[in-house]
Amino acid sequence: MTSNAGKSPEHIVLAFSGGLDTSVVLVWLQERYQCPITAFVADLGQGEELETARRKALALGAVDVKIVDLQEEFAQDYAFPMYRADAMYEGQYLMGSSIGRPLIAAAQLRVAEEVGADAVAHGATGKGNDQVRFEYTYGALRPDMKVIAPWRDWEFSSRNDLLAYASKNDIEVDLSSGERPYSIDTNLLHTSYEGVALEDPALPVPTGLLTRVKDLLDAEPEPEVVRVSFEKGNPVAVNGEALSPAGVLRELGAIGARHGVGRLDIVENRIFGMKTRNVYEAPSGTILWHAHRAVQSLALDPEVLHLKDELMPRYASLVYRGLWFAPERLMLQHAIDWSQDVVTGEASLLLYRGNVQVVGRTSPHSRYDIAFATFEADDVFEQRDAAGYMKVNTVRFRAGRRAAGGAAQ
């Protein structure tokens, strides 16, 4: 949905991270359009990177830099709804980047309105997922906004071309880590790594590349139990201490990181059908996913839980494909949130060298009744009644054999 036809933009807001791609984009936009560029930096919990990005954007010619703290909004309005759904793409990926992009794009549009810009730009590549996530959000919230996607317009075809352009234009590039991949994304939920050092899926991750979660050999030598408390499907406290939504993610991230929890090395299927090797570190997301499932297992009606699990892959696919603001995701969210009214309680998890094991769960709305569950004598379940259940539910098998003249089908 790149829109460069007609009138040239008068003011562009660029989603800026300070990395190679967006740094080149910032300079290229000035050359191409000769108009003011405001650099928008979304604070999703990156820490020290933020001020580095501010300094770099101003040095490269941005007329202003807007750093917007989105941490609480990210946790409460994006991460928590997704984790109420137990969303996991292709059975593994907890989608820390996928869920961040709609918020970044939505906040970028807010900045564009604030500064009176008539165009927004991003540095996502022309074959990657993020362009879709950005532009679906723009389309849902501001379909009239001009969108500029340099990777689909400019003359560069590789990141080596970008490095050459950066060198020619005195754009600072951090190559201090040698084999560092070109793409690293960090927020409260996770850190993702992809690129040159990881492109061969047969090779292990280079030593020292991952920085957020401790290696299993370096993890804490003793196990630790962490308690996560929930109200209506949302985590509200860790180890008995009430925390803000972002505070929950920060605390779980710190605890999980020191125990080596949350590393994932996968080959995933991108939106455009190609496969890519990605490595993720998601300590907070991993703990939260297990804890939520534990409390939910007590509180939900069995058929509601099964239906919710059936909906999860579809929900996860919608999030992965950038359809956060689509009506179908909103419809599913309403159904999921209805189920979460009773998901209140606490889960206890044992963490040890990369493992997360649920060791206890409680809920004031628990449907677990020891009178029904026990293998000892009880007065609430007449065991001979089970015979009728089996007899009725095998009618179709008997009918099938009769229709086939007694032969098995």
Q: Which residues pair with 358 in a beta bridge?
A: 349
Provide the phi-psi class of 346: left if phi over 0, else alpha when psi is between -120 and 50, else beta: beta
Q: How many helices (H) and strands (E) does the chain have?
A: 14, 14
Is 244 annotated in a binding site? The answer is no
- Residue 116 has which token pair? 């009176």
Within a 10 A sphere around the Cβ of 240, how many other Cβ atoms? 8
Is 133 annotated in a binding site? The answer is yes
Is 268 annotated in a binding site? The answer is yes
Is 22 annotated in a binding site? The answer is yes
Cα separation, 1 vs 125, in Å, equals: 14
**Could you tell me whether strands 37-43 and 12-15 are parallel, antiparallel, or unpaired per DSSP bridges?**
parallel
Contact present, 66 and 16 (Cβ < 8 Å): no
Cα 265-70-313 angle, rounded to 5 deg: 40
Is 3 annotated in a binding site? The answer is no
- Residue 142 has which token pair? 């501001």
Is 183 annotated in a binding site? The answer is yes
Burial 343-380 (b: 16+ CB within 10 A, else e): bbbbbbbebbbbebeeeebbbeeeeeeeeeeeeeeeee
Is 42 annotated in a binding site? The answer is yes
Is 278 annotated in a binding site? The answer is no
* Helix (H/G/I), strand (E/B), else coil: 161: helix
Is 106 annotated in a binding site? The answer is no
Is 249 annotated in a binding site? The answer is no
* Helix (H/G/I), strand (E/B), else coil: 393: helix
Is 74 annotated in a binding site? The answer is no
Is 15 annotated in a binding site? The answer is yes
Task: Spell out the residues 6+ positions from residue 366 whose beta carbon is closer than 8 angstroms to its own.
Answer: 298, 299, 345
Cα separation, 137 vs 212, in Å, equals: 29
220 by Cβ neighbours in 10 Å (0-12 / 13-18 / 19+) ranks as middle
**Could you tell me whether strands 37-43 and 64-69 are parallel, antiparallel, or unpaired per DSSP bridges?**
parallel
Cα separation, 70 vs 246, in Å, equals: 9
CA 75 to chain centre: 11
* Helix (H/G/I), strand (E/B), else coil: 118: coil
Is 19 annotated in a binding site? The answer is yes
Is 243 annotated in a binding site? The answer is no
Is 21 annotated in a binding site? The answer is yes
In this structure, the dihedral spanned by the alpha carbons of residues 277, 281, 284 and 285, taken in order and rounded to 10 degrees, is: 10
Length of the chain: 409
Is 18 annotated in a binding site? The answer is yes
Q: Which residues are catalytic?
A: 21, 101, 130, 183
Q: Which residues are annotated as a binding site for L-aspartate?
A: 125, 129-130
Q: Which residues are annotated as a binding site?
A: 15-23, 42, 93, 98, 123, 125, 129-130, 133, 183, 192, 268, 280
Q: Which residues are annotated as a binding site for L-citrulline?
A: 93, 98, 129, 133, 183, 192, 268, 280
Q: Which residues are annotated as a binding site for ATP?
A: 15-23, 42, 123
